[in-house]
Amino acid sequence: MIDSLERVRRPEYTGENRCWPCTVTNGLLLTVPVAVVAVLGQWLLAAAIGVVGTAGILLRGYVVPYTPRFAPRLAAALPVEAFDHDGGSDPGSLSGSVDETGPSGETVLAELVESGVVLPEGEQLRLESEFRDDWREEMTSLRDVDLETLAGVADDLTPSSIEAKTSRVWDRSQLVLESDAGPPVTLRRGVAVAELAAVCALESRVDDAAVRRAAGRPLRSLLAECPLCDGELTVSQASCCGEATPVGKTPSEKLLCPACNERFFVFDESAA
Residue 227 amino acid letter: P
**pLDDT given at position 74:** 57
**pLDDT given at position 267:** 83
Domain membership of residue 240 (yes or no) is no
- Name the E strands within the chain: 118-121, 124-127, 162-169, 172-179, 182-188, 234-236, 253-257, 262-267
State whether 187 and 118 are in the same domain.
Answer: yes
Domain membership of residue 228 (yes or no) is no
Domain membership of residue 197 (yes or no) is yes
Question: How many whole angstroms separate alpha carbon 89 and alpha carbon 265?
Answer: 9
> Residue 156 belongs to what domain range?
94-221
Domain membership of residue 66 (yes or no) is yes
State whether 15 and 50 are in the same domain.
Answer: yes
State whether 124 and 29 are in the same domain.
Answer: no
State whether 197 and 115 are in the same domain.
Answer: yes
Domain membership of residue 271 (yes or no) is no
State whether 99 and 214 are in the same domain.
Answer: yes
Domain membership of residue 260 (yes or no) is no
**pLDDT given at position 81:** 44
State whether 108 and 170 are in the same domain.
Answer: yes
Domains identified in the chain, total number: 2
State whether 69 and 105 are in the same domain.
Answer: no
Domain membership of residue 235 (yes or no) is no
**pLDDT given at position 82:** 43
State whether 154 and 215 are in the same domain.
Answer: yes
- 212: Cβ contacts below 8 Å, ≥ 6 apart: 198, 199, 202, 203, 206
What is the DSSP pairing of strand 182-188 with strand 234-236?
unpaired
Please tell me the pTM assigned to this model.
0.69
Cβ count near 30 (within 10 Å): 20
State whether 6 and 65 are in the same domain.
Answer: yes
pLDDT under 50: residue ranges of the chain: 1, 78-88, 99, 240, 242, 244-248, 269-272
State whether 149 and 215 are in the same domain.
Answer: yes
State whether 202 and 169 are in the same domain.
Answer: yes
In the Cβ-directed half-sphere of 263, how many Cα atoms lie within 13 Å? 24
Contact predicate 266/88, CB 8 Å: yes
CA distances from residue 47 to 5, 34, 36, 265 in whole angstroms, order as listed: 21, 7, 12, 44
State whether 100 and 212 are in the same domain.
Answer: yes
**pLDDT given at position 17:** 60
Element (H, E) at 111: helix 105-114
45-74 pLDDT, tens digit each: 999 999 998 988 888 777 777 666 665 555
Domain membership of residue 134 (yes or no) is yes
Question: How many whole angstroms separate alpha carbon 151 and alpha carbon 97?
Answer: 13
**pLDDT given at position 87:** 47
